[in-house]
Amino acid sequence: MGTALVYHEDMTATRLLWDDPECEIERPERLTAALDRLRQRGLEQRCLRLSAREASEEELGLVHSPEYVSLVRETQVLGKEELQALSGQFDAIYFHPSTFHCARLAAGAGLQLVDAVLTGAVQNGLALVRPPGHHSQRAAANGFCVFNNVAIAAAHAKQKYGLHRILVVDWDVHHGQGIQYLFEDDPSVLYFSWHRYEHGRFWPFLRESDADAVGRGQGLGFTVNLPWNQFDPELVLVSAGFDSAVGDPEGQMQATPECFAHLTQLLQVLAGGRVCAVLEGGYHLESLAESVCMTVQTLLGDPAPPLSGPMVPCQSALESIQSARAAQAPHWKSLQLQDVTPVPLSPSTHSPEGRPPPLLPGGPVCKAAASAPSSLLDQPRLCPAPSVRTAVALTAPDITLVLPPDVIQQEGSALREETEAWARPHESLAREEALTALGKLLYLLDGMLDGQVNSGIAATPASAAAATLDVAVRRGLSHGAQRLLCVALGQLDRPPDLAHDGRSLWLNIRGKEAAALSMFHVSTPLPVMTSGFLSCILGLMLPLAYGFQPDLVLVALGPGHGLQGPQAALLAAVLRGLAGGRVLALLEEDSTAQLAGILARVLNGEAPPSLGPSSVASPEDVQALMYLRGQLEPQWKMLQCHPHLVA
């Protein structure tokens, strides 16, 4: 359905006119660097270009006071001295004669993006804007921000479209206190921010940036940090700051550009994929440009490049996640049922009362990341894209699929002798239909292993499902895959003679009981409730999968898999985050055309349909999950981010 890119070159006009080391990083080249790179990569050309309009004063009034809007309007006619004097009244702010115009364009860009998405003109989009917005408050500029672009967009989406649930995800390295203040008592806007905090030593040095700020009044539980599986938003707005990226002089964090592809892709499973990203911070031009490309590329539906590096969460990250979970638990049923095991807190960062003493602004901050190897930015991230994103190799000629034009219906088959050789050990593959299906699957798999095809769907007669999957796993491992993740739903057991060499990770959902048969062979019952399904996918499968870092993923819906279309779509959508999207889905031949169609579209980059609001997971679901996490957590460190039983 398309991706919008909202921009106006006038927004490069505002700039710092005097000496101010704190503000000088917020400069016009931020926009031009990002845009140039999008052009170079051919990404801009794939977007619907929208020229930003100015927000009206009435629209600014959705979140700002008339007096404050007047104050900013009047800066247009001030001289340099007066501008500097006025700027000094705010924290980390500079005004320029063009500020009012630029800031109205920035807010207007957000509004246009929301309009484009909510009228259905596009699926999602990015607004490239200056000045940024998330620190700006009802009557105050702050932290380079003049008008609160994302907050205005959220208020507009409520007012004009009557939305009741809007999720704002703020991945800027700074806490968007402006958005928090504006919506802290409003349960219709869920504000989720992650930010560098350093126990209060990182700008903007606010006590209310901590995990225990959870909103107030009606808005209790709608501020800060919580899992995205219960709110079921109608729209996702992203305060997309890239100062959390590697190399940034402000943030000094280590997120690689690829991280933003993964964040974007995870958010795309919400709100039917209606994601509006609006630029906030980001001051390292190279890192900013690459990260913006990763975001736009993912919005356009391209698979996310795999993450590299050790998949081991650090102690301090675990503590933060645990604090946020604990603070939110009273307000979210989905967090209460889980047996929350507190992460042992390291004594160095916590005083005996459990809370660190208040710290002064400007105090020592962790410099560990300051020496971040900029090599993280140098690694080649331009692997040649496969010529075919998704291919469908179904056998039943009578099923008519509704597919996007770029999804290929594969005709080819592997050579007959070769197919027979692979089939020979399996009785169930002796039948002609099974052999035909296997030939098509092998041909598709080879296309994926050769790098011509990114993802695909193949079908097999139900009676041959287990044998076909067995062949696919062996063929994958012997023809180029180093590590293969197999997610098998229904009655598809791990082949007993498959080597236990750590090159395959087998997850069977629908196992008779929860069992970690080995570190690489996990079996769990199919959860009964939607939310149990979500926890299983997000809280078990995904941490294992990210920890394993496969380069090929097989997902098989075998006999009795019991998945509805939307559940299968969600499963495929999150699995696409692994292996650069190299995912092969295996279906039973008599699956509905609808199921095959939805899987093909999701593997091709379309957003999965929303699962709808989910109730609480059943006690059995929770128990199975907690048990498995407890068993597996010693080996799979990514599971430490989730509550687990201490084994």
Coil, strand or helix at 254:
coil
Q: Give the nearest distance from C-beta 559 to ligand X5A in angstroms.
A: 53
Interaction pattern, residues 273-312, with ligand X5A; x per rule: CB under 6 A:
-------xx-------------------------------
Gap between the Cα atoms of 386 and 427, Å rounded: 35
Tell me which residue has its CB nearest to ligand X5A: 281
Interaction pattern, residues 164-183, with ligand X5A; x per rule: CB under 6 A:
--------x-x---------
Under rule CB under 6 A, residue 540 binds ligand X5A? no
Gap between the Cα atoms of 67 and 630, Å rounded: 56
139-147, 371-379, 385-393, 411-419 -> range binding ligand X5A (CB under 6 A):
139-147
Of 125, 143, 273, 550, which one interacts with ligand X5A (CB under 6 A)?
143
Gap between the Cα atoms of 350 and 355, Å rounded: 6
Query: What distance separates the 2 farthest-apart alpha carbons in the chain?
Result: 87
Partner whose footprint covers residue 132, from Zn ion, ligand X5A, none (CB < 5 to 8 Å by kind): ligand X5A
At position 354, the amino acid (one-letter code) is G
Under rule CB under 6 A, residue 22 binds ligand X5A? yes
- Hey, what are 328's tokens? 């939110």
- Considering only residues 182 to 221 of the shown chain, the ones binding ligand X5A according to CB under 6 A are 203
Task: Please list, residue by residue across 249-275, b when 16 or more beta carbons sit within 10 angstroms of its beta carbon and e when fewer do.
Answer: ebbbbbbbbbbbbbbbbbbbbbbbbbb
Q: Let me know how long the chain is.
A: 647
Tell me which residue has its CB nearest to Zn ion: 281
Gap between the Cα atoms of 198 and 545, Å rounded: 30
Q: Give the nearest distance from C-beta 239 to Zn ion in angstroms.
A: 9
Partner whose footprint covers residue 59, from Zn ion, ligand X5A, none (CB < 5 to 8 Å by kind): none
Which burial class, exposed, middle or buried, applies to 415 when counting CB atoms under 10 A from its CB (0-12, 13-18, 19+)? exposed
- Paired strand residues for 523: 508, 515
Which burial class, exposed, middle or buried, applies to 195 when counting CB atoms under 10 A from its CB (0-12, 13-18, 19+)? buried
559 Cα distance to chain centroid: 31
Q: Give 241 or 439: the residue with its C-beta nearer to Zn ion.
A: 241
Partner whose footprint covers residue 145, from ligand X5A, Zn ion, none (CB < 5 to 8 Å by kind): ligand X5A
Our answer to whether residue 135 is catalytic in this structure is: yes
Q: Give the nearest distance from C-beta 373 to Zn ion in angstroms.
A: 22
> Rule CB under 5 A: which residues touch Zn ion?
172, 174, 241, 243, 281
- Considering only residues 215 to 274 of the shown chain, the ones binding ligand X5A according to CB under 6 A are 241, 243, 250
Q: Which value, to the nearest 10 degrees, does the dihedral of the CA atoms of residues 253, 254, 260, 261 take?
A: 180
Please, what is the Cα angle at 34 between 29 and 35, to 5 degrees?
Answer: 100
Q: Give 126 or 538: the residue with its C-beta nearer to ligand X5A.
A: 126
Residue 566, phi then psi, degrees to nearest 5: -60, -35
Q: Give the nearest distance from C-beta 204 to ligand X5A in angstroms.
A: 7
Which burial class, exposed, middle or buried, applies to 387 when counting CB atoms under 10 A from its CB (0-12, 13-18, 19+)? exposed
Q: Give the nearest distance from C-beta 366 to ligand X5A in angstroms.
A: 16
3-11, 137-145, 317-325, 379-387 -> range binding ligand X5A (CB under 6 A):
137-145
Q: Tell me if 604 sits within 8 A of 596, measured CB to CB.
A: no
- Hey, what are 270's tokens? 């919400």
Q: Give 241 or 476: the residue with its C-beta nearer to Zn ion.
A: 241
What proportions of the chain, in percent to the nearest 5, are helix, strand and coil?
40, 15, 45
140-148, 392-400, 545-553, 575-583 -> range binding ligand X5A (CB under 6 A):
140-148
Gap between the Cα atoms of 363 and 371, Å rounded: 19
Q: Give 193 or 256: the residue with its C-beta nearer to Zn ion.
A: 193
Catalytic residue, chosen from 134, 135, 174, 642, is: 135
Q: Give the nearest distance from C-beta 115 to ligand X5A in angstroms.
A: 24
Under rule CB under 6 A, residue 550 binds ligand X5A? no
Q: Give the nearest distance from C-beta 243 to ligand X5A in angstroms.
A: 5
10-18, 138-146, 318-326, 364-372 -> range binding ligand X5A (CB under 6 A):
138-146
Q: Give 178 or 461: the residue with its C-beta nearer to Zn ion.
A: 178
Of 108, 110, 125, 132, which one interacts with ligand X5A (CB under 6 A)?
132
Other C-beta atoms closer than 10 Å to the C-beta of 611 total 19
Name the strand (E) or helix (H) holding 522: strand 521-524
Could you list the residues that contact ligand X5A (CB under 6 A)?
22, 92, 132, 135, 143-145, 172, 174, 203, 241, 243, 250, 280-281
Residues serving a catalytic function are 135
